[in-house]
Structure 1
Amino acid sequence: MCDKTKLTEDIETTDLSYYFCNNQSGFYNYIAQYAASSSVEDDSKPLRVHKVENIINCIYSPNKPWSFYNAVLDTNICQILQESHHEHDADRIIQQILSFASQYRCPIRCPVKLTALDTFRLLRRHGFLELPVESDAYQYVDFYHLERELKQIDLSSEITISELDDATQNDCFEKKSEWGRVLCESFGVPNLKIYQLFYSDVWSRVTVGPTTPIRMFAATIDSRIVGGCHVSFSNGVACLFNVVTLKAYRGKGIGKALSLQAMICAKEAGYRYMILQGSEMGLQVYRKLGFKAIHPCKLMIKLSTVAWYFKILEMILDAIGIVRLQNLMKSIKKSSKFILLIFAVIISIIIARMLM
């Protein structure tokens, strides 16, 4: 285990989302060790990492706008620039970050600490939009004060929950590759075949096991992966990522069993706090497991394609429950490219005004 600074003291819950974002950066950085190159020309790996001006860390997925791995990995850019005496270079550094995003034809996201107002204003000045985040999307559990006993639930005899381990399992490469396909299908990623290949390529390269900073659990039926999750240990906390179950196998307790296995793993490793960002579908399960809501970080995004304007608006409409307008969006998306472009411009104006 590489994390030597486990957070054991009491902490304000308002700070936990910041720890989550830092852990997520560690999660992406670990993936990048195996699946990313630092060269624009080297296309042998699916991801790219850049330390812009040797200060700000970024990860990109060339030509993959629906990848999770398009992000600035620092949550308080202005503070970092100030500490490194580069505060006057802020605009130039943001422009460099965006130039890579343009070159790789992908959006770039940036989580921002709630108190990092200078960073928020800097990103807004360069055209970043604030993504809507549900108020209870970020959840945490404090194992020191967890009232329920942590023990695995009974599942159907055909379902097995196990940890993947490159060091001891000869078929681990194939299972990680299969996991990439399950991840895409579970999240409903567009262009499924393309992105299944992409995520399979990424995860088949990443080393996992009981002694690595990322631990990976899979749910199998007849040796076929039907679900899974990741636990990331870094920056003092444990974080739960990518809890998924294929649609055909939902309702069998698999997601709950995976989450419990991750919680048991984190507690046994000596962590006090586990944090996650949950979907609406999973929040009820997490609450029953003892998780509580915390204030989310701001999530900023710079869009690279017209399609992303539709995605952002759909997320906003979903957050306020306007189903009819969502359906209208889907019908408009089938219209001509000219109408698509005009509508995208209108959307950008609406969003900009909403976020002012």
Structure 2
Amino acid sequence: MHLETGTEDQAFREEVQDFLSDNLTLELRQAGQRTMGICSPHEASQAWQKILYARGWAAPSWPVEYGGTGWTPMQRHIFATECHLADAPMLAPMGLEMVAPAIMGHGNEAQKAYYLPRILAAEDSWCQGYSEPGSGSDLASLQCRADKDGDDYIINGTKIWTTHAQYASRMFCLVRTSSDGKPQAGISFVLIDMDTPGITVEPIITMAGNHEVNQVFLDNVRVPQKNCVGAENEGWTVAKYLLEFERGGRAWGARLQGAMVHLRQLAAARGMINGTFAQRLAGLASAVQAVEITEQRVIAEMSATGRIGPASSMLKTRAGTLVQEISECAVEIIGNYAAPHQPAAREWDSNIELLGRADELTVVGHYLDFRARSIAGGSNEIQRNIMAKLVLGM
């Protein structure tokens, strides 16, 4: 279902479709089809971003002065939708969608001039150093310390659930620079080179069989104080600003539309688009459309104010539970064929013989992986507290 009207939107959609047809190789499409987690395999994601960068389309949501496209919110929605429907690799959001807006909003001119072009051109890969073993949803209780030593910080601590840290060249990291006052008041937002001595990355294998997340240990890691984004001890403000983009800037509508296309294909191939099951599919499709409309409101607010606001919490909560419902439905459709579990076959360049149909390969992995969608980026319980406070005034 397309929400746009008018010939300009349709002409733009056709332009995007032509570009995707010309530039998406079979290997890149396979990487998109086999995507698990929040982004496609690193090599495919980087390769696709460089193709988009050459066209000037790598960062549709960025302001034009930093390399953005100047597209309308509807054009950005069309682009994201068509990319998902064409099985384009999903780009890693940590650079383009998370740290970049934080640098634009709170960084100094030197930081903008150095980091933003590198993010845009896929010269750097980023990871997020927020959660710690004892500080997840209660992020303000983080203990990773940064102590001053001349012009540097000496950082000690550990971060966990760090997505793609094994590939990252840089990390944006929350550290404690003061213990005075409220916990939020002593946090700073720093940028760390991952090849700095003292950094160790240990893998965490998810129950879906993926190496997507890691634990990162920082032992006497020396970081220049000039790498602090925003003022020292005001990193909580930067972190909240970034979390708005993490929760609301993910093109959920496009992703859910792609998931629904796959779900209908699974059902049609097994003669299940009828009766009660058809009603269930219709209910999911209606819920996806509601998310798309909500997302358009969020995008419009962001375009007008530069902020996403509390609606991002509502969007993240509903979309996260909806993708779980879709994945549950997919498992029910394929039934016993869900049993074969071949994580290695999901590698984008894998030639492993499949035990079932190709469209079944990621069903169980998605089902398992999406259990975390109601926790990652702030649990649903935290999101509801935010909505109660900022929307309902409770």
Normalising by structure 1, we get a TM-score of 0.29
**Structure with more strand by fraction:** 1
Q: Higher relative CO (CA 8 A, sep ≥ 6), structure 1 or 2?
A: 1
